[in-house]
Structures are given as C-alpha cells and as structure tokens.
Structure 1
Amino acid sequence: MKISFQLIRNLIKTSFLGFFLATNNFCLCIVGYVQKFLLKINLNEITPQLIVIPAIAVVFGRLFCGFICPFGIIFEWTYKLRMKINNSKILPKVNPKIHEKLIYLKYILLIIGLYLTFKYGSYVICTVCPIGSFVGLSGTVISFILLGLLLIGGYFIPMFFCRYFCPIGAFLGIFSAKPVFKIKSNDKCNKCRLCEMKCPMQIDILDNMDEKECIRCFQCVTACKKGGLNYGK
C-alpha cells in the first residue's frame, strides 16, 4: 500500500504535538510557547538550540514550521476544516497589497519579544501583558482566549498566526531567506498555478518564490500531479 507524503508529515507533526502536550501538562499557551523559544535564543550563551535550529533553516528552510511546531498542525487542521465544511479545494486569499505588508508584522513582534526577554528575563511578556490587569483574568484564561481568537482567524485566513504574528517563524525566516534546498518549478510545469491555489501561506511560487515565508508544508508539491515542482538544490 502506498503511503502519501502528507500522511507521513501529519503523523510526524501529530507526534510532536502529543509530545509537546505530554511534557507541558497539556498547556496550550501560545504566548508561553513563543516566550520559551525566545528565551533559548540567548546571545550571552551559545545553546544547542541557537546552533541547530538556525542551521536547519539555512539548509532546509522553515522545516521546523512544517514538521515540528505543535501549533502549526493545529492551525493547519483549522483551515482544512473550513475547506471540508465548504467543500472547497481553493484557499481564500487576502488582498495581495494588504498581505504583503502584514507579513512583516511578525518581524516587529520578534524584535519586541526579544527586547523584553533580554531586558527583563523569564516570561516577562506574561508579566507586562495589559489584558490581565485590565480585565482581571488569569494567564491561563487569557491564553485560551488568545488561542481561540487565533483559531477563528485561522478558520477564515489559512495559517493566520503563522503568516502574520509568529515571532518564531520570523526568526527562522531570517535564516531561510536563501536556503540550500529550495522549492523550484521545472520543465514539467504548465503554469496552471494550482500550487499557488493550494499554498496556505499565499506565496507567489512560480514568479517570486519567497523562501522565508514558506513553512515547508509541501502542499504545493503534493498538489502538482505533473511533478512540476521539485524540492532540492
């Protein structure tokens, strides 16, 4: 029996999600997850994460996003649920002029997050968060509200958080701007652009492939039945 590549990828991502939940007491605080990642980017100490994660991005692109990130698979399930409910095969698009500006928001959030983390230390983003003090909610309640809002956004805009808000994606994007292994069209491509219709990150794959925004979900490669896209050097 032939096992599809996407099935294997989903099994890998689901396994990492299960591992993440089991080792974090089933906590799904996305802010805490981002802060924990930023704390590992410690410029005063060369940690394994500071070497391995960027190195993977330099060679393979944002493979972490496509295969490991536990929240990535949740947001992927969200937009695919909408497609199934609407019986749609084409992903909705954000106005390109707006989209091209919004993708830089996550880089601004990365700079702010790194500044707060390096200046004030562990989990400072939760400490300075104004929402709790204004409405009297605990961090746990806020985290579920935030995740719920992002899931709603992800239902209408595929990979909403990953596209526009994820500082981790921004950090990896810096190192994966020109990776060794790239997604490229070949002579089998007939410019039907089905790959772009299937891309949850709304990337112009054929004319202006933006590697730093590609999360290596390989939906584009899978969608092309003619083998018009390759992933390699």
Structure 2
Amino acid sequence: MGFTFGFRRRFVQIMTTCLTNWELTNLLSGKIYKGPGKNLCAPGLNCYSCPSATLSCPIGALQTVGGTSGFGISFYVSGFLLLLGVVMGRFVCGFLCPFGFFQELLHKLPLPKKKLFPPLIYGKYIILMFFVLLVPLWGGAYDNKGIPAFCEYICPAGTLEGAVPLLLTHPEFRQAAGMLFAWKFLLLIGVVIGCMTTYRFFCKALCPLGAIYGLMNPISLYRLRLAEQRCTACGICRGSCPMDINPARQTSSAECIMCGKCIEACPHNALYLGRENKERCC
C-alpha cells in the first residue's frame, strides 16, 4: 500500500524542519550558529537567531540587506524569493516552512475550532508593505541602517525560536529584557491561541512571506490544477479545504498552500498538483 499524500507532506515538513535546524545542541548552550549556511536563506520562516538554525530567514535578510543599502534591494534575496514563488508559489508554505508545521501541530489540540474572519487575510499584505519593505528602506535612507521592523516588533517565530531559547540559556539577557520582549511575548501567546482554534492563523492573517509567495500563486509553474471534465461541482473539496477557499473555482488563489487535502477528498480525481493545466484521462 502506498503512502498517502498527507503522509508524504508530513514527512517533507519534518525533514525540512530538521535540515533547517540541524544544530540542535546549540539549544542547550545558547550559541548561535554562524557558519557558511547562514549565507543562504531557508525557503520558509525560520529565525536567524534560533540557536539551532543553519540557514537565514528570507524575511530578515530582505529587511537587513534592503535597509542597509539605501533604496536598493538584495538581488540574491529578492531573486531567491521570486524563483521559489514562480516555480512553487505557496507550496513552500504547505511543505517547507517550519513555523507553518508548528502551527498545524498546535491546531491538532482538542479545542473548539473556528474560521478566520475573511477581511483579516489582507493583514499579511499590510505587514509586508509597511514592516518588511517601507520601514527598512526608510531607515536606510536616513542613516544607512536598516530597521528590521517585522523581526523586531512582530515576528512570533523569532520570539519562539530565538528570544525564548536565548533568554533561557543567558541570565544576562533576562536582566535586559524589557517592554519590547513583553509585547512580543504577548503577541506570541495571541498567535499560539489563534493557531489552536484557527488553522494556520498566522499564515492566513499575518505572515509576509506567505503574502509574497501567495502573490505568485497564479503564475507559479507548480500549483493546484483542475481537470474540468471530471469535476461535478459537488462541493466536497470546498468543505475539506483548511484555508477556506473553493479549490474547484480558485485553483490559483493566493491562499492555497497546496496541502492536498482537497485532492484526497475529491471523489472524482478532478484536482491535482502539477506544472501544466491539461485534461487528465485517468
């Protein structure tokens, strides 16, 4: 018997999380890995300051490099994100993001579940424009120092993966922790509670990296496809979608993370992930 799509996806999520956080012993010492791997970006959200992280966070790199170079942007970071987006879109969110995997585990806790208030999905685009792009560039224009506003004031992944482990292993850091850490810790608690009750709350409402990849979902080479001659508009795929879209009518939706739940649920084999939109005969 072959492995299900969901099992294969979970395996990829676990492997990606392990490969991007290979320096596990650093969690005990509080050291931050600064080897050659940090010159490269992870595809998903994974904090640079996490002691176990072996790659840099693309959002952190985008802010830092963009801000310190005035109004310029890093060709490497932007090119990396564009390449992944054009090839895979939000497949990265569904398969390759450690913080997305963490959110899914939180959602498995036996608590009442609810859907996200639809207008909140635009929050991630506001955060992308203001905290990731405009504020860092504004800082670079005035004193050539980028302001990593998203990392500094919002990112719950950074708080969980970076700040908390470092505070636990460095007493001197605990003495210096102030109102900013208190704010970010409260925000982390809010995101954790949101993820327990709403599937991938942070991805849906707040993640700027998901916003970038989502904007490229309609043009990505590998994305959700529909074999229209097989679709009977039964609505089963819509009921199975954890991202609250109608897969049969929104195959290019910016909210689709290509988790494959609609593919498994479809009784007519009408939905699939692929590179070409062609009618399937089998």
TM class by smaller structure:
0.7 to 0.9
Q: 1:166 to 1:196 in 2, by over 3 A?
A: same
Question: 2:137 maps to what in 1?
Answer: 118
- The C-alpha deviation readout for 1:42-80, integer Å capped at 9, x for no partner, is 443311x32233222223321211111110001112223
TM-score by length of 2: 0.64
Q: CA deviation at 1:16?
A: 2.1
SS of the residue aligned with 1:81? Answer: coil
Question: 1:9 maps to what in 2?
Answer: 9
- The C-alpha deviation readout for 1:17-59, integer Å capped at 9, x for no partner, is 2334445855998797575253377443311x32233222223
- What percent identity do the matched residue pairs reach? 28
Q: 1:92 to 1:227 in 2, by over 3 A?
A: farther
Q: CA deviation at 1:125?
A: 4.5
Between Structure 1 and Structure 2, which shows a larger proportion of helix residues? 1
- In the alignment, which of 245, 265, 269 is matched to residue 223 of structure 1? 265
CA–CA distance in structure 2, aligned partners of residues 119 and 173 of structure 1: 25
CA contact (8 A) 1:60 1:182 kept: yes
* Bigger radius of gyration among the two: 2
Matched, 1:193 2:235: yes
Question: 2:62 maps to what in 1?
Answer: 38
Structure 1 window deviating more from structure 2 (51-60 vs 7-16): it is: 51-60
Matched, 1:105 2:123: yes
Superposition map of 1:29-108 within 5 A: 35-39=59-63, 42=66, 43-47=72-76, 49-82=77-110, 92-94=114-116, 98-99=117-118, 101-108=119-126
Question: 1:172 maps to what in 2?
Answer: 213
Q: CA deviation at 1:210?
A: 4.3
AA matched with 1:79: H
Q: 1:142 to 1:7 in 2, by over 3 A?
A: farther
- The C-alpha deviation readout for 1:92-149, integer Å capped at 9, x for no partner, is 434xxx40x22111101001122222333153446567xxxxx93463x654443332
- The C-alpha deviation readout for 1:71-91, integer Å capped at 9, x for no partner, is 000111222334xx67xxxx7
Q: 1:208 to 1:123 in 2, by over 3 A?
A: closer
AA matched with 2:245: I
Q: 1:183 to 1:156 in 2, by over 3 A?
A: same
SS of the residue aligned with 2:225? Answer: strand
SS of the residue aligned with 2:108? Answer: helix
CA–CA distance in structure 2, aligned partners of residues 225 and 40 of structure 1: 48
CA contact (8 A) 2:226 2:251 kept: no
Question: 1:132 maps to what in 2?
Answer: none
SS of the residue aligned with 2:218? Answer: coil
Q: 1:128 to 1:104 in 2, by over 3 A?
A: closer
Q: How many residue pairs align between the two structures?
A: 216
Matched, 1:162 2:203: yes
TM-score by length of 1: 0.76
AA matched with 2:115: K
- The C-alpha deviation readout for 1:163-206, integer Å capped at 9, x for no partner, is 11111111112222332333233233332222222212111222
Q: 1:44 to 1:228 in 2, by over 3 A?
A: closer
Superposition map of 1:13-32 within 5 A: 13-23=13-23, 25-26=26-27
Q: 1:110 to 1:68 in 2, by over 3 A?
A: same
